[in-house]
Every structure is written in structure tokens, then in C-alpha cells.
Amino acid sequence: MNQSTPIHLLRMPDVTKRMGVSKATIYNMINEGTFPPPVKLGERTSVFPEHEVAKLQTAIIAGASNEEVKQIVISIQETRKFGH
């Protein structure tokens, strides 16, 4: 039997606090392709997987360029879509 690690989900206030930026900045980053879009759980519920936010934080702290961050976001979206 496969045991998987639970995925922790963050709401927007948690993301803004962790990233140190406003909600508007997060949405601007999403529009620029430098932050993954939220996962919709329902009509009014959107969340961000914690491991994705952590991956971006690590890249930004390491000095990744905007283009490198965009590639990470593309990778995150592909992983969501295809599961690998």
C-alpha cells in the first residue's frame, strides 16, 4: 500500500503572509507567470499547495531570475496537470 504525505493547502492570507507581499501583488505575479494560479476547491474557495509556495520561495531566495521563476511555475502547472 502506498502512503503519501498529506498536501497542506494555504488560503490567500497565508500566502501573502509567507511571501511578504499583498494580495494584489500575488495576483500580479500570477498574471505575469511568476506565481502559480490557485487551485479551485469550489465556487468561492481557492487554495495554494504549500509545497508549491515553498518551492518558489526557495528559488526567489536563491536569486532565480524572472525567467527561471516562470519555468518553475510552468513545471508546477505541468505537475498539477499530469501528476509527475
Tell me the pTM.
0.88
CA distances from 81 to 32, 36, 65, 75, 77 (A): 20, 12, 24, 10, 6
Is 1's pLDDT higher than 50? no
Write down the residue that cell numbers 526557495 correspond to.
Answer: 58
3-state secondary structure of 4: coil
Domain 9-82 has CATH 1.10.1660: yes
Domain boundaries, the chain: 9-82
pLDDT in tens, 28-44: 999 999 999 999 999 99
